[in-house]
Amino acid sequence: MNRIIVIIAIVLGMSSCTSKFQQIMKNKDTDYKVKMAEKYYAEKKYSNAQQLFESVINFVKGTPRYEELYLMYAYSYYYDKDYENAENLFKTFVEYFPNSPKTEDVEYLRAYTYYLRSPKAELDQTTTNRTIQLMQSFIDAHPTSVKVKEATATIDACRAKLELKDYKTATLYYELALYRAAAISYGLLSDGYPDSKSADKYKLLTLKSYYQFAENSFIEKQKERFDKVKEEYNDFVDRFSDSPLLPEAKKIKTKTDNILKNIK
């Protein structure tokens, strides 16, 4: 019985709050609604604050508080983790207030909303690529900003995610025995991320994939394809002569040479 009473009290309380908020929304006094929007914002009741800001924002346009309130409106979505709407409002803020002292921070946050929406590596990386574009634009526009270090770190994190996605794709090809596709994909990884700590690993996997591709080819195609393995080995040695993976690459080269001796 006590539990039922508590539930009823909660429902009645929620109903009362909803009723009170609807009364505020219907109020014609803009100053009052602004005051309540700020109150809800301060209390982190961002959904209520958003509705109130939206209802008054056009009425405060041109007033001394327009910029401040518009920024609070945008932040209410950001703090509510609605990053898509936050990004749109941040973008509009920069367009409306290009000379604001807040513009630099807003430009950074706009780019960061894309990073916060960036999915795990296996999924489409459109937002990750967009993050890189916007963060680089931020750095170019504000080279002395204190946020350049953060922006650079975010770009590095995005690139690492793109690298991981490409690696997973190449590895999937290899596991499916699509060796030519795997070789091309690993090669693109090695060339596309030359400064990666795994660049030599990608090159070795390129070599392995071409070896598997050649080994599983028709006899009449094998010489040409094993010659490609030798070519990739030579490139590995040129680029990674001090790599700890070199002995493994040499084993593949030796096996390739032995096979080629028996191919007319």
Q: Measure the CA angle with vertex 105, ends 97 and 91; round to 5°.
A: 50
Distance separating alpha carbons of residues 110 and 84, to the nearest angstrom: 10
Distance separating alpha carbons of residues 151 and 168, to the nearest angstrom: 26
String of DSSP letters for 101-128? TTHHHHHHHHHHHHHHT---TTS--HHH
Any residues with CB less than 8 A from the CB of 117 and at least 6 apart, and which?
A: 83, 84, 127
State the number of CA atoms in the 13 A half-sphere of 150 facing the CB: 11
Distance separating alpha carbons of residues 28 and 137, to the nearest angstrom: 43
Q: Name the DSSP class of 198.
A: T
Digitized pLDDT (tens) for each residue of the chain, 264 residues in all: 455 443 443 444 444 556 888 999 999 899 999 999 999 999 999 999 999 999 999 999 999 999 999 999 999 999 999 999 999 999 999 999 999 999 999 999 999 999 999 999 999 999 999 999 999 999 999 999 999 999 999 999 999 999 999 999 999 999 999 999 999 999 999 999 999 999 999 999 999 999 999 999 999 999 999 999 999 999 999 999 999 999 999 999 999 999 999 886
Q: Which residue has the tokens 């002292």?
A: 101
Instruction: Give me the pLDDT at residue 138, please.
Output: 98
Nearest CA-CA partner of 193 in 170, 169, 167, 175:
167
Task: Give, in order, the Cα–Cα distances in Å from 80 to each of 41, 45, 85, 91.
Answer: 10, 9, 10, 17
Instruction: Give me the pLDDT at residue 3, please.
Output: 53
Instruction: Give me the pLDDT at residue 262, please.
Output: 86
Distance separating alpha carbons of residues 142 and 189, to the nearest angstrom: 31
The pTM assigned to this predicted structure is: 0.85
Burial of 114 (0-12, 13-18, 19+ CB in 10 A): buried
Task: Give, in order, the Cα–Cα distances in Å from 52 to each of 29, 65, 133.
Answer: 12, 15, 34
Nearest CA-CA partner of 256 in 220, 211, 224:
211
Distance separating alpha carbons of residues 34 and 18, to the nearest angstrom: 18
The helix or strand, by DSSP H or E, that contains position 256, with its residue range, turns out to be: helix 246-261
Residue 241 φ then ψ, to 5°: -65, -25
- Answer yes or no: are the C-beta atoms of 130 and 114 closer than 8 Å: yes
